[in-house]
Structure 1
Amino acid sequence: MSSKFLQAVTLAIAALLAACSPIKVLNALTPSNTFSKTSSVAYGTDPRQKLDIYRPVTASPNAPVVVFFYGGSWNSGSKDQYGFVGEALASRGIVVVIADYRLYPQVRYPLFLQDNAKAVAWTYQHIAEYGADPGQLYLMGHSSGAYNASMLALDARWLNAVDLSPSMLKGWIGLAGPYDFLPIENKDVQPVFFFPNSPPESQPINHVSADAPPSLLIASTDDNLVNPTRNTGGLATKLRAARVPVEAFYFTKTNHVTLVASFAKPLRWLAPVLDKVTAFIRSTPTAD
């Protein structure tokens, strides 16, 4: 099979992803021989408070662990849709936890952050049983999931509430995240944050301090949903001003959706997102 044919196939997949739900396509093309999966472990009592664990087949002892939060405007999404992310990181020797959490209209801000914190607490307490090192714990999210990860990493209230602290994170990773989005223009998001009375403390950019863990921010220059200059660029600038270690990368062949889709094996040629995430995890010094 020629490289031109493969590129044509992946271009067709990328177009499909941009036009409709990517989930069935991506997961159908995801290898299954690089990981083992433990499904629907409860971290709370609500039906949405469950998580999946992806373990590398050839994991080394005390592997790093990533807790991944998916996007969906805080009103949609499922852990079952992101097997391609679990596989991608597991193929690099990383244990992955993908957590469901309550969504609007069941809850509004900040209750989904409380769920996220509980998922992190469960991971910290139990992930050694799955071959990972809780001392090498990272948070990662895409879109509204990146918001969730950033809030847990930057605003100590949420992890403090489960007897943890952002200082126990080795780092966090944001993919196309909204970190500074008031006033809210997206009508689907407005009720989640009580528009027009959205609280300023709901914005990650307002919680940057020198105590923040190391950060990796990745965005697409062609993102029509979340402005990369204001959000990724603005947060990176503020983190640097606080002398927090931060790396920021912008890719031109991806958009808001295909940025995370590039974790899937057929689409990794779009941008080296998986490589950047893996390098960040392998090189980040332990946060104090």
Structure 2
Amino acid sequence: MARSETEAADADDSQYEALPASFKEVLGQFVHHLTHECGRSAHTVRGYRADVTSLLVHLAATGTTRLAGVDIAGLRSWLANRRAQGIARASLARKVSAVRAFTAWAHRQGHLDADAGARLSGPSVPHNPPEILRTDQAETLAAATASDGSATGLRDRAVVELLYATGIRVSELCGLDVASVDRSRNVLRVFGKGAKERTVPFGIPAARAVDDYLQRARPELAADHSGDALLLGVRGGRLHPSTVRRVLRDWLSRTGMPSLTPHGLRHSAATHLLDGGADLRSVQELLGHASIDSTQIYTHVSAERLRGAYRQAHPRA
């Protein structure tokens, strides 16, 4: 049975407390680096901290109590231990990535004479095409949310319209303030990974949904502690990503569509933009990808959709 986030956090804290003092000090410096120098999200920092903690716990258990003693043999021993626990390949790949980021940082800081993690190879993970909605399904979903005139219904409509119109991440959506919306130009001011700011346009349906929400729903949901948050929960606090995931899942279920995450709407928006003729660089900028390699996956999705249409429609397919 999967552990709750609270249980997982408690387990990580327990492991951390058992670490040698030298390991705790370096791990604390690394967390500070991720948070204040790299601007990583709290969720990402927690994941990196847990993965590096698991490495340091393993090293301590095998007799290594100083970071300077870490070598590729110790890293491979840790990875083999993780594999033996039956951890999925995708999770192993993520853990290896976190550990390599840690050893690269530790080497730059002088804690390691050499970057042992540079020689650590993780498992290959197949890149399956992302799950997306068809354009007609996206229209059906938007129309369904427009049928609920309650305060939470108007908020849900704004959530769905903004996610699909802009392709922003769920964390970026929940981080929006009222002032992030520029209705004179129909753009959002979004802070993405690494606290990088970008401007993302949205269309008329999303603009109407946001206007209705701000005029009719947000005043009803707002509380003394709401602050400047754009999207609010039922108790007036800033909307949480887990609530957005539940909201989307519920609306998809009501309309008889397969379950999809908010990231699936992001995938859908990017794919539909490329299908409609948008160039790859524009989609990269819209999504806030640091590298165009991350955007390339949507060309594969679009190409597969084109092949499907060809096989269905061409007489000599």
Q: Would the TM-score normalized by the shorter structure come out above 0.5?
A: no
TM range (shorter): under 0.3
Greater share of helix: 2
Structure ranking higher on relative contact order (CA contacts 8 Å, 6+ apart)? 1
Q: How high is the TM-score relative to the length of structure 2?
A: 0.24
Query: TM-score, with normalisation over the residues of structure 1?
Result: 0.25
